[in-house]
Structure 1
Amino acid sequence: MPRPVLLAAALVGLSATVASAQDGGFNLPDGFGVELGAGTDNRSKAISKTQGDAYAYGIVDYVPGTGDVYMSGSIEGVDSSGADWETKLLVGWAPQFAGFDLDFNAAHKWLIDPIPGTDNGAWEFTANVSRSLGPASARVQYQYSTDALGQTGSFSWVEGRVGWAFTPRLEGTAAVGRREQRNSVDYTGWNVGATYALTRNLDLDVRWYDTDVDLPADNRYNEALVAEIRLGF
Structure 2
Amino acid sequence: MTLRPLALALLASALAAPALAQDADPAPRGSWSFGAGVQSDNRSKQVSKSDGDPSVWALAEYASADGAFYFGPAVETVKSNGAEVEVSLIGGWRPQVWGFDVDLSAEHKWLVDAAMTDDAGAWEFTADLIRSIGPVEGKLRLQHTPDGVGSTEAWTWYEARASWDQSPRLSWSGGVGQREQEVGVDYVGWDVGATWQVTDRLELDARWHDTDADGPAVVGTEIYDGRFVVGLATYF
Aligned CA-pair RMSD: 1.3
DSSP-derived class of the 2:223 partner: helix
Q: Which residue of 1 aligns with 2:42?
A: 42
Instruction: Indicate the structure (1 or 2) with the bigger Cα radius of gyration.
Output: 2
Choose which of 212, 223, 227 in structure 2 pairs with 1:224: 227
Q: How does 1:47-126 map to 2 (within 5 A)?
A: 47-66=47-66, 68-117=68-117, 119-126=119-126
Aligned to 1:200: 200
- Counterpart-to-counterpart distance in 1, 2:230 and 2:67: 35
1:140-159 matched pairs, under 5 angstroms: 140-159=140-159
User: 2: CA distance between counterparts of 1:228 and 1:30?
Assistant: 29
CA contact (8 A) 2:116 2:150 kept: no
Could you list the runs of 4 or more consecutive aligned residues of structure 1 that deviate by over 4 angstroms after TM superposition? Answer: none
**Matches of 1:118 and 1:94 in 2, distance apart?**
33
Q: Which residue number corresponds to residue 189 of structure 1? A: 189
Measure the CA separation in 2 of the matches of 1:216 and 1:223: 15
Gaps of at least 5 residues in structure 2 are 1-28
Identity among equivalent pairs (%): 40
Query: What amino acid sits opposite 2:202 in the alignment?
Result: L
Distance 1:65 1:165, change over 3 A: same
Counterpart Cα distance in 1 of 2:66 and 2:99: 20
Report if aligned partners of 1:81, 1:118 keep a CA contact under 8 Å in 2: no
CA distance in 1, matches of 2:69, 2:79: 32
Seen in structure 2, the aligned counterparts of structure 1 residues 120 and 176 have a Cα distance that, compared at 3 Å, is same
In 1, Cα distance between equivalents of 2:94 and 2:174: 23
Q: Which range moved further: 152-161 or 213-222? A: 213-222
Q: How big is each residue's C-alpha offset from its partner over 1:47-74, in whole Å with a ceiling of 9 and x where there is no partner?
A: 0000000000000000132561100210
TM-score, normalised relative to structure 2: 0.84
TM-score by length of 1: 0.85
Once the two structures are superposed, residues 169-207 of structure 1 have per-residue CA deviations (whole angstroms, 9 ceiling, x without a partner) of 001001000000111100000000000000000000001
Q: Distance between the aligned counterparts of 1:164 and 1:116, measured in 2?
A: 43
- 1:138 corresponding residue in structure 2: 138
**Shift in Å at residue 150 of structure 1?**
2.1
Structure 1, gaps ≥5 residues long: 1-28
Q: How many residues were matched structurally?
A: 205
The equivalent of 1:20 in structure 2 is none
Q: Which amino acid letter does the alignment assign opposite residue 97 of structure 1?
A: V
Deviation at 1:118, TM superposition (A): 5.0
